[in-house]
Amino acid sequence: MRSLIDILDFSPEELQELIDTANDIIEHPAFYSDKCRGRKLATLFYEPSTRTRLSFEAAMYELGGNVLGFSEANSSSAAKGESVADTAKTVSCYADIIAMRHPKEGAPLVAAMNASIPVINAGDGGHNHPTQTLADLLTIYREKGGFENLTVGFCGDLKFGRTVHSLISALSRYKGLKVVLISPVELKLPSYVKKEVLAARSIPYIQTTDLESIMPELDILYMTRVQRERFFNEEDYLRLKDSYILTPEKLKNAKQDLAILHPLPRVNEISVAIDDDPRACYFKQVLYGKYMRMALILKLLKEAGRL
């Protein structure tokens, strides 16, 4: 059974196929409005979400399908101690496809190993968030026309920011990528990502704490919030939370065609004064996420023989 647990589960050709489908949905929404009639998506969210859960639900409704699920662990039998494996087997009796968010790294993989329907990782702890990467890729594709020869700056919480880990993996397969890692020392990109992705593919990268000096080099600036929910110590969070705040002043030396992305939610790391700058792409990213999730649901249901 084909699932999406890690963005590398899909080849670059398959990602392009999803981008092409999403672009076609944007152009011809009526053609897709009945494709999932009679099919059900289960959204199993053990952690808070606005964009991912609601965009999955909107995606399924716009395909003519239905949605069931829960939005917090406490309203499911997880509160009584039910395992992820048993939950996946149970939900396989009710739905055609699952989107799961869980605070524990690897939980969606356990679900996929036990479900008889496709499982989509909608974010697992500080590990991966492949469907956010689908939204990021469509945004980059529409802004830049492709993925080659880009210098991409990742700024903020690179340690716990699962969207960063997934996007670096996805971009690592395209030619000419240069990566700039901008973070406080305490929130550097985990060594396993540097070793298994950047070093393994000989991708040039630099690590710095200084956003402004590197700004003129960047084609893409991917801002992230400091992930309060992953800290063991509130004092550390308070000390680090405002390490980077992007303001119009800090964009003075940026390229005119820079694309500013952020997976959202935003806390304080991008000033609202930037929202009207044509380089701000983060609300487009939200919309593109819905179209990519529509394309993904179609692909996985087709491969599972459920469409």
Residues 6+ apart with CB under 8 A from 199: none
Among positions 54-113, residues that touch ligand CP (CB under 6 A) are none
Q: Restricting to residues 206-245, name those near ligand CP by CB under 6 A.
A: none
Q: Which of 1, 34, 38, 50 binds ligand CP (CB under 6 A)?
A: 50
Stretch that binds ligand CP, among 29-37, 48-56, 204-212, 236-244 (CB under 6 A): 48-56
- Could you tell me the smallest distance in angstroms from the CB atom of residue 132 to ligand CP? 5
Query: Which residues are designated catalytic?
Result: 51-52, 80, 101, 129
State how far the Cα of 20 lies from the Cα of 17, in Å rounded to an integer.
5
Least CB distance from residue 167 to ligand CP, whole Å? Answer: 12
Q: How far is the CB of 16 from ligand CP (least distance, A)?
A: 22
Select the span of 43-51, 203-211, 223-231, 271-279 touching ligand CP (CB under 6 A): 43-51
The DSSP line for 213-250 is HHGGG-SEEEE----GGG-S-HHHHHHHTTS--B-GGG
SS3 track for 103-158: CCCCHHHHHHHHCCCCEEEEEECCCECHHHHHHHHHHHHHHHCCCCCCEEEEECCC
123: contact with ligand CP by CB under 6 A: yes
Cα gap 261→154, rounded to integer Å: 10
**Piece in contact with ligand CP (CB under 6 A), picked from 76-84, 137-145, 247-255, 259-267:** 259-267
**Binding residues for ligand CP (CB under 6 A):** 49-52, 123, 132, 263-265
